[in-house]
Structure 1
């Protein structure tokens, strides 16, 4: 007698019918893969480890920003929501060549060129396809453009499009579309291994609440269960000492079990296992991990406008090296390396109105204010004379002959140590603000090795029959850093490719 299948916690459909495709995971990549398989007429079951009230994977916690190549605003209007501001908006074209160059630059050339080529060419068609199924997109005015004195908007940094409703809207749309396509979604499914026969994958092993292991068979299995960022032991082992102290931005369920299962089934490691996506994250607010109410609002991404100091009152990085889209995912690591893994973003009254509203006016935010730099230093436990000297050195080194413009790399430099390459404004007007930040880890860059269609490869470079991978489990695209919005884009592209074959 065949083993009893796991209890379906979200559907009353007939469990005796073996699915064609099992998708393991519950974020953007997983649902995209499920949609792609379902529209081909495949019977799809999606297994999500989290309970239903914690659905959405890491994607739920994002802002929904998705990086695509395009030819400007006119090229986007067929699938983005109408907005009265469009008439006063300039969206520069973002070419495939620029997208590729950005990936090569921020990863220091360690991105897989074949995966990159596919990502760059298929991200925009992938969003249009999802839009045709019912997902909704818009221009991200509040995150990617500053309003100029003439009441126009200029988008910057190659990242222009996002989901309506952010990550929450993205995942709500995905769940609705899955239901419309007949995909069966089961929550609370703790998949602990893969079923293999003669080197081919034939299904999954699911641990039940009573501890028993039951089997669910299928022709194909798509792994889309995220990285190992929520596993402190794996973080310390693969990323290094101190990473066990990082704050988990997203889902607490991405602990690496399915990566381990893929390796056990013969898959090869792919990508850079020693680096990750990590950001500046609210240091002192209660419940600053896996917070479903505040999600992405706990990030602090207006740092290019001000300065960042450690608890010794010293600057330690170039806040204006590039648009935040190209630096934010690597600066969490730098914060982690500071004393007590804490830094402080400093702004004055002139800069304060330019900070992102959704992040810097968050309920319960970690912030101290004071009328003088010395008083501010005292409030955050920094030697007042040292912080005052740091600010004075910064202020006195700024080339004020260059006009400040946050919409472009303005070259307005603070020629101090370390240099600030762009957007240097003197901090001279009280009150002053200090926002405490630490390291928030988003996802890990190491995973399983695959070809460009998501087919998992073994150590000989051969396909493992019946096994696919997409999303943050797919290694090879990113290393050390990452261009903002390319993670969700990769989930769409390689989720769709895996679903098209499975």
Structure 2
């Protein structure tokens, strides 16, 4: 990102006019800016971070996007060439299946109108971004398993991702914005929304040098993320103990603009008491906001092993569903354990199947031993208890059911808690334990808006001049989250907000 964009803010007059202000430079904010600019609007994007901090949470993602499609032929024109396409199996994933997954993982607490638009517009929005130069590929290393015929079989309704992950996504968005004449300003902290006669007419801000100013516009689009990086707001809304969660992504999403919008009459919507949180490397020394390793500190291989706490006891069903439908809720379960700590256990059979980008990253925390008892000692867990847990788990597996990692195979461990699928015994040395804690990604509660991103007041009436998208839009998720749907939602509702702005 060009340093010169930041300097532009310093030279600007304290009060100025644009057609559209976008607050937040992640995937949603850029999508809104693109949509407004293609309508000929003069757009300024105000990013809180300096160039080496920018990109919001989007920068830290793996870049996965969940879209409805009819199979590989339907999306092939969006994808980078890959010789593996010829041996790939990508099952169709309809908008109805997408909507059903949204309802299932949220226990029906998702907003149906927002969900319908998200699912219906997902593929068309990706095509729109692709037309602006964003690049996509099939995520073989994350979302496919090799079957006995040597085919690459995709699973869990998710296959497509950005080339270069989150880093590539932000680079490509930035390039497209610059080509469209969108003015990007870095190091701008928006403080308040300016209103006049009931309409939002601009923002006040402070730049990186401490200078204050006001920018006016016909529309303000809020895309500044949730409150996950503010420990006190986490404690207030998520509950005691959430101060200890590790912030996976940007440290800049502190809820400032949620507070500012509520102050001018915006209504809230969605579940403020839950969030997206994952199993996260507990012992890596720089395990918050790490811009080098970003998403690689996630530990998503638990469906292949078992997870135990400091007492040596299992506490989740590691095979309840595909990882895509469980990973975003298990961080909260880990945080509730003693010391907010757990261990993912694998053996010589399962260890080679783990995603290399996560489990083989430089400095990944792991302890290894030739016996379960020795492993327990390195974990700080009672050896006898861990040995009992592993033995009981191994004995409970229905080994008559064949293992198939690309489907929900029903190969269960009939124990409490059960492991519903992919139960593989831990019986071949060496053994591995990866320490994990809770990594918080983003919060689910946000502003109330209609399907076009127009922010609503307490009476359900749009606040003139104010729109919202991305993680600030409340109502889509509650308790859990289908993998890849966040970036898709940011693009879909960012595009819609920018189309009205």
- TM-score with structure 2 setting the length: 0.97
| 1:214-251: CA deviation from partner (whole Å, max 9, x where unpaired) | 21111110000000000000000000000010000000
Aligned position for 2:63: 64
Aligned position for 2:132: 133
1:188 aligns with 2:187: yes
Aligned position for 2:296: 297
Question: 2: CA distance between counterparts of 1:331 and 1:462?
Answer: 37
Aligned position for 1:36: 35
Aligned position for 2:225: 226
The 5 A counterparts of 1:461-480 are 461-480=460-479
Aligned position for 2:386: 387
Moved over 3 A (4+): 10-17, 208-213
Which stretch of the first structure deviates more once superposed, 8-17 or 115-124? 8-17
| 1:442-497: CA deviation from partner (whole Å, max 9, x where unpaired) | 00001110000000000000010000000000000000001000000000000000
Contact 1:315 1:418 in 2 (8 A): yes
The 5 A counterparts of 1:116-265 are 116-209=115-208, 211=210, 213-265=212-264
Aligned partner of residue 23 in structure 1, secondary structure? strand
Question: 2: CA distance between counterparts of 1:117 and 1:242?
Answer: 35
Contact 2:188 2:208 in 1 (8 A): no
Aligned position for 1:488: 487
Contact 2:298 2:358 in 1 (8 A): yes
1:9 aligns with 2:6: yes
Q: Offset at 1:416?
A: 0.8
Q: Offset at 1:287?
A: 0.6
Aligned position for 2:411: 412
Q: Offset at 1:210?
A: 6.0
Residue ranges of structure 2 left out of the alignment (5+ in a row): none
| 1:339-358: CA deviation from partner (whole Å, max 9, x where unpaired) | 00000000000001100000
Question: 1: CA distance between counterparts of 2:271 and 2:352?
Answer: 39
Question: 1: CA distance between counterparts of 2:360 and 2:444?
Answer: 31
Which stretch of the first structure deviates more once superposed, 143-152 or 281-290? 143-152
Residues 425 and 209 (structure 1), Cα distance of their counterparts in 2 relative to 1, 3 Å cut? closer
Aligned length: 496
Question: 2: CA distance between counterparts of 1:287 and 1:118?
Answer: 38
Aligned partner of residue 182 in structure 1, secondary structure? coil
Aligned partner of residue 52 in structure 2, secondary structure? helix
Contact 1:10 1:185 in 2 (8 A): no
Contact 2:317 2:419 in 1 (8 A): yes
1:310 aligns with 2:314: no
Aligned position for 2:273: 274
Residue ranges of structure 1 left out of the alignment (5+ in a row): 1-6
Question: 2: CA distance between counterparts of 1:14 and 1:230?
Answer: 30
Q: Offset at 1:198?
A: 1.1
1:78 aligns with 2:77: yes
Question: 2: CA distance between counterparts of 1:209 and 1:166?
Answer: 28
Residues 144 and 210 (structure 1), Cα distance of their counterparts in 2 relative to 1, 3 Å cut? closer
Q: Offset at 1:270?
A: 1.1
| 1:288-343: CA deviation from partner (whole Å, max 9, x where unpaired) | 00000000000000100000000100000100000000000000000000000000
Q: Offset at 1:146?
A: 1.0
Aligned partner of residue 54 in structure 1, secondary structure? coil
Aligned position for 1:401: 400
Aligned position for 1:365: 364
Question: 2: CA distance between counterparts of 1:445 and 1:216?
Answer: 29
Contact 2:9 2:185 in 1 (8 A): no
| 1:83-129: CA deviation from partner (whole Å, max 9, x where unpaired) | 10011011000011110100000000000000000000011100000
Aligned position for 1:445: 444
Question: 1: CA distance between counterparts of 2:162 and 2:337?
Answer: 34
Question: 1: CA distance between counterparts of 2:393 and 2:195?
Answer: 61
Contact 1:453 1:497 in 2 (8 A): yes
Contact 2:29 2:470 in 1 (8 A): yes
Q: Offset at 1:148?
A: 2.2
Aligned partner of residue 430 in structure 1, secondary structure? coil
Contact 2:33 2:182 in 1 (8 A): yes
Q: Offset at 1:209?
A: 4.8
Question: 1: CA distance between counterparts of 2:432 and 2:175?
Answer: 42
Q: Offset at 1:15?
A: 4.3
| 1:392-437: CA deviation from partner (whole Å, max 9, x where unpaired) | 0000000001111111100000001110000001100000000000
Question: 2: CA distance between counterparts of 1:57 and 1:396?
Answer: 46
Aligned partner of residue 53 in structure 1, secondary structure? coil
Q: Offset at 1:55?
A: 1.2
Aligned position for 2:347: 348
Over the residues paired in the alignment, what is the CA RMSD in angstroms?
A: 1.3
